[in-house]
Amino acid sequence: MNAADSAAALYPVHETFHSWQGEGGHLGKSAFFIRLYGCPVRCPWCDSADTWDTRRVAAPPSRLSVEALVKEAVAARPEIVVLTGGEPTIHDLAPLANALHAAGLPVHLETCGAFPLRGNFDWVAISPKDAAPPLLDNLICANELKLIIGHPDDLPRWSDFLAARSLSASTSVWLHPEWSRHADPVLLDAITRWVIARGAPFRAGWQIHKCYDADEVASRPSQA
Protein backbone atom coordinates (compact mmCIF):
# COMPACT_ATOMS: atom_id res chain seq x y z
CA MET A 1 0.00 0.00 0.00
CA ASN A 2 1.47 3.34 -1.05
CA ALA A 3 1.37 6.57 0.95
CA ALA A 4 -1.74 7.83 -0.82
CA ASP A 5 -3.63 4.61 -0.21
CA SER A 6 -2.54 4.63 3.43
CA ALA A 7 -3.78 8.18 3.94
CA ALA A 8 -7.11 7.25 2.35
CA ALA A 9 -7.67 4.13 4.46
CA LEU A 10 -10.93 4.21 6.43
CA TYR A 11 -11.80 2.00 9.38
CA PRO A 12 -15.26 1.13 10.75
CA VAL A 13 -14.95 2.43 14.29
CA HIS A 14 -17.38 1.45 17.03
CA GLU A 15 -15.78 3.75 19.59
CA THR A 16 -12.57 5.38 20.76
CA PHE A 17 -11.87 6.25 24.38
CA HIS A 18 -9.02 7.01 26.77
CA SER A 19 -8.88 4.82 29.85
CA TRP A 20 -6.36 2.27 31.14
CA GLN A 21 -5.50 -1.30 30.29
CA GLY A 22 -7.51 -3.53 32.60
CA GLU A 23 -5.98 -6.92 31.77
CA GLY A 24 -2.73 -8.78 31.30
CA GLY A 25 0.88 -7.76 31.41
CA HIS A 26 0.28 -4.03 30.88
CA LEU A 27 -2.36 -3.74 33.59
CA GLY A 28 -2.98 -0.20 34.79
CA LYS A 29 -1.26 1.66 31.95
CA SER A 30 -2.92 4.72 30.46
CA ALA A 31 -4.33 3.49 27.16
CA PHE A 32 -6.18 4.92 24.18
CA PHE A 33 -8.54 2.30 22.79
CA ILE A 34 -9.62 2.09 19.17
CA ARG A 35 -12.46 -0.42 19.04
CA LEU A 36 -13.21 -1.50 15.49
CA TYR A 37 -16.51 -2.83 14.21
CA GLY A 38 -17.09 -6.34 12.91
CA CYS A 39 -16.47 -9.90 14.09
CA PRO A 40 -17.21 -13.20 12.32
CA VAL A 41 -16.61 -15.27 15.49
CA ARG A 42 -19.53 -13.92 17.57
CA CYS A 43 -19.12 -15.65 20.93
CA PRO A 44 -22.46 -15.95 22.78
CA TRP A 45 -20.97 -14.42 25.95
CA CYS A 46 -19.19 -11.56 24.13
CA ASP A 47 -19.01 -8.43 26.28
CA SER A 48 -18.66 -6.16 23.23
CA ALA A 49 -21.36 -7.70 21.06
CA ASP A 50 -22.50 -4.25 19.96
CA THR A 51 -19.42 -4.27 17.70
CA TRP A 52 -21.02 -6.93 15.50
CA ASP A 53 -24.68 -7.45 16.46
CA THR A 54 -26.73 -5.06 14.32
CA ARG A 55 -29.70 -5.49 16.68
CA ARG A 56 -27.75 -3.63 19.37
CA VAL A 57 -26.79 -0.50 17.44
CA ALA A 58 -28.98 2.29 16.08
CA ALA A 59 -26.72 3.34 13.20
CA PRO A 60 -23.82 2.01 11.12
CA PRO A 61 -20.34 2.51 12.61
CA SER A 62 -18.39 5.66 11.82
CA ARG A 63 -15.74 5.25 9.13
CA LEU A 64 -12.70 7.21 10.27
CA SER A 65 -9.44 7.92 8.49
CA VAL A 66 -5.99 7.02 9.71
CA GLU A 67 -5.28 10.72 10.13
CA ALA A 68 -8.36 11.28 12.31
CA LEU A 69 -7.62 8.29 14.54
CA VAL A 70 -3.97 9.23 15.01
CA LYS A 71 -4.95 12.81 15.83
CA GLU A 72 -7.29 11.56 18.58
CA ALA A 73 -4.69 9.19 19.97
CA VAL A 74 -1.94 11.82 20.06
CA ALA A 75 -4.25 14.30 21.79
CA ALA A 76 -4.98 11.75 24.54
CA ARG A 77 -1.24 11.36 25.32
CA PRO A 78 -1.54 7.70 26.44
CA GLU A 79 1.25 5.29 27.23
CA ILE A 80 -0.11 2.80 24.69
CA VAL A 81 -2.72 2.56 21.94
CA VAL A 82 -4.82 -0.62 21.94
CA LEU A 83 -6.46 -1.86 18.73
CA THR A 84 -9.39 -4.05 19.66
CA GLY A 85 -12.90 -4.98 18.62
CA GLY A 86 -14.91 -6.92 17.63
CA GLU A 87 -12.13 -8.68 15.80
CA PRO A 88 -9.70 -6.02 14.57
CA THR A 89 -7.61 -8.29 12.34
CA ILE A 90 -10.39 -8.71 9.79
CA HIS A 91 -9.17 -5.25 8.71
CA ASP A 92 -5.76 -4.34 7.29
CA LEU A 93 -4.23 -2.63 10.30
CA ALA A 94 -0.87 -1.85 8.68
CA PRO A 95 -1.67 1.75 7.64
CA LEU A 96 -3.03 2.60 11.09
CA ALA A 97 -0.23 0.88 13.01
CA ASN A 98 2.43 2.52 10.84
CA ALA A 99 0.93 5.98 11.35
CA LEU A 100 0.63 5.50 15.12
CA HIS A 101 4.25 4.38 15.29
CA ALA A 102 5.28 7.41 13.23
CA ALA A 103 3.57 9.56 15.87
CA GLY A 104 5.67 7.88 18.57
CA LEU A 105 2.90 5.71 20.06
CA PRO A 106 3.33 2.02 21.00
CA VAL A 107 0.64 -0.11 19.35
CA HIS A 108 -0.92 -3.08 21.12
CA LEU A 109 -3.28 -5.58 19.49
CA GLU A 110 -6.06 -7.63 21.06
CA THR A 111 -7.25 -10.46 18.80
CA CYS A 112 -8.63 -13.98 18.77
CA GLY A 113 -5.66 -14.88 16.56
CA ALA A 114 -7.71 -16.70 13.91
CA PHE A 115 -6.84 -14.31 11.07
CA PRO A 116 -3.50 -13.15 9.61
CA LEU A 117 -1.93 -10.18 11.39
CA ARG A 118 -1.41 -7.28 9.00
CA GLY A 119 0.77 -4.61 10.58
CA ASN A 120 3.61 -4.27 13.08
CA PHE A 121 2.66 -4.37 16.74
CA ASP A 122 4.60 -3.79 19.94
CA TRP A 123 2.44 -6.22 21.90
CA VAL A 124 0.08 -8.97 20.74
CA ALA A 125 -2.53 -10.39 23.12
CA ILE A 126 -4.46 -13.39 21.79
CA SER A 127 -7.69 -14.61 23.33
CA PRO A 128 -8.36 -17.94 21.56
CA LYS A 129 -11.94 -18.90 20.80
CA ASP A 130 -13.36 -22.40 20.23
CA ALA A 131 -15.25 -21.29 17.12
CA ALA A 132 -12.11 -19.87 15.46
CA PRO A 133 -8.85 -21.45 16.71
CA PRO A 134 -5.77 -19.23 16.47
CA LEU A 135 -3.28 -19.64 13.63
CA LEU A 136 -0.02 -21.24 14.68
CA ASP A 137 2.02 -18.32 13.32
CA ASN A 138 0.02 -15.97 15.52
CA LEU A 139 0.48 -18.10 18.62
CA ILE A 140 4.23 -18.14 18.08
CA CYS A 141 4.43 -14.34 17.98
CA ALA A 142 1.96 -13.71 20.82
CA ASN A 143 3.25 -11.88 23.88
CA GLU A 144 0.41 -13.16 26.03
CA LEU A 145 -2.68 -15.34 25.81
CA LYS A 146 -5.95 -14.66 27.60
CA LEU A 147 -8.08 -17.77 28.03
CA ILE A 148 -11.74 -17.26 28.90
CA ILE A 149 -12.61 -19.95 31.44
CA GLY A 150 -16.33 -20.62 31.74
CA HIS A 151 -16.09 -24.05 33.35
CA PRO A 152 -13.33 -25.94 35.24
CA ASP A 153 -13.17 -28.43 32.36
CA ASP A 154 -11.89 -25.62 30.13
CA LEU A 155 -8.57 -25.65 31.99
CA PRO A 156 -7.25 -29.08 30.92
CA ARG A 157 -8.82 -28.68 27.46
CA TRP A 158 -7.00 -25.44 26.70
CA SER A 159 -3.84 -26.76 28.34
CA ASP A 160 -3.85 -29.74 25.96
CA PHE A 161 -4.49 -27.42 23.02
CA LEU A 162 -1.50 -25.22 23.88
CA ALA A 163 0.79 -28.16 24.69
CA ALA A 164 0.43 -29.33 21.10
CA ARG A 165 1.68 -26.00 19.78
CA SER A 166 4.93 -24.06 20.05
CA LEU A 167 4.69 -21.12 22.43
CA SER A 168 7.52 -18.83 23.39
CA ALA A 169 8.83 -19.51 26.88
CA SER A 170 8.11 -15.86 27.71
CA THR A 171 4.43 -16.02 26.73
CA SER A 172 2.14 -15.70 29.74
CA VAL A 173 -1.19 -17.54 29.69
CA TRP A 174 -3.81 -15.62 31.66
CA LEU A 175 -6.82 -17.51 32.98
CA HIS A 176 -9.82 -15.17 33.03
CA PRO A 177 -13.14 -16.30 34.51
CA GLU A 178 -15.94 -15.70 32.00
CA TRP A 179 -17.46 -12.54 33.42
CA SER A 180 -20.98 -13.84 33.99
CA ARG A 181 -19.33 -16.36 36.36
CA HIS A 182 -16.64 -14.11 37.82
CA ALA A 183 -18.05 -14.58 41.33
CA ASP A 184 -18.53 -18.36 41.04
CA PRO A 185 -16.45 -19.87 43.88
CA VAL A 186 -16.15 -23.24 42.13
CA LEU A 187 -14.69 -21.66 38.99
CA LEU A 188 -12.37 -19.34 40.91
CA ASP A 189 -11.17 -22.23 43.07
CA ALA A 190 -10.41 -24.28 39.95
CA ILE A 191 -8.33 -21.46 38.46
CA THR A 192 -6.52 -20.91 41.75
CA ARG A 193 -5.64 -24.57 42.15
CA TRP A 194 -4.53 -24.80 38.52
CA VAL A 195 -2.07 -21.92 38.89
CA ILE A 196 -0.77 -23.18 42.24
CA ALA A 197 -0.18 -26.67 40.86
CA ARG A 198 1.42 -25.65 37.55
CA GLY A 199 2.83 -22.15 37.76
CA ALA A 200 4.28 -20.66 34.56
CA PRO A 201 3.09 -20.00 31.96
CA PHE A 202 -0.30 -19.88 33.70
CA ARG A 203 -1.40 -16.73 35.52
CA ALA A 204 -4.66 -16.00 37.32
CA GLY A 205 -6.37 -13.22 35.38
CA TRP A 206 -9.09 -10.68 35.99
CA GLN A 207 -10.81 -7.85 34.13
CA ILE A 208 -9.96 -5.24 36.72
CA HIS A 209 -11.29 -2.32 34.69
CA LYS A 210 -14.79 -3.69 35.23
CA CYS A 211 -14.38 -3.39 38.99
CA TYR A 212 -13.51 0.30 38.50
CA ASP A 213 -16.25 0.86 35.89
CA ALA A 214 -13.33 2.38 34.00
CA ASP A 215 -14.68 2.22 30.45
CA GLU A 216 -17.89 3.96 31.45
CA VAL A 217 -16.00 6.59 33.47
CA ALA A 218 -13.93 7.36 30.38
CA SER A 219 -17.10 8.31 28.48
CA ARG A 220 -18.32 10.75 31.15
CA PRO A 221 -17.08 14.31 31.78
CA SER A 222 -14.33 14.64 34.36
CA GLN A 223 -15.38 15.67 37.86
CA ALA A 224 -11.84 16.47 38.95
The DSSP-derived string for 13-44 is EEEEEEEE--SGGGTT-EEEEEEE---SS--T
Asked if residue 201 is part of any domain, the answer here is: yes
pLDDT digits (tens, 9 = 90+) for 44-80: 777 777 787 777 766 778 899 999 999 999 999 999 9
Q: What is the pTM of this model?
A: 0.89
Asked if residue 206 is part of any domain, the answer here is: yes
Asked if residue 38 is part of any domain, the answer here is: yes
- Helix 94-102 / helix 66-76 crossing angle, nearest 10 deg: 40
Domain that holds residue 42: 3-218
Asked if residue 19 is part of any domain, the answer here is: yes
Cα gap 20→209, rounded to integer Å: 8
Mean pLDDT of 172-193: 96
The CATH number of whichever domain residue 97 belongs to comes to 3.20.20.70
Residue 198 falls in which region: left (phi positive, over 0), alpha (psi -120 to 50) or beta: alpha
Asked if residue 30 is part of any domain, the answer here is: yes
Do residues 36 and 51 make contact, with C-beta atoms less than 8 angstroms apart? Answer: yes
| pLDDT at residue 14 in the model | 92
| pLDDT at residue 4 in the model | 44
Asked if residue 224 is part of any domain, the answer here is: no
Asked if residue 223 is part of any domain, the answer here is: no
pLDDT > 70 in the chain, percent:
91
Asked if residue 130 is part of any domain, the answer here is: yes
Q: Count how many domains the chain has.
A: 1
pLDDT > 90 in the chain, percent:
72
What is the pLDDT confidence band of residue 118, given thresholds at 50, 70 and 90? Answer: very high
Mean pLDDT of 105-113: 97
CA distances from 175 to 70, 155, 167, 184, 200 (A): 32, 8, 16, 14, 12
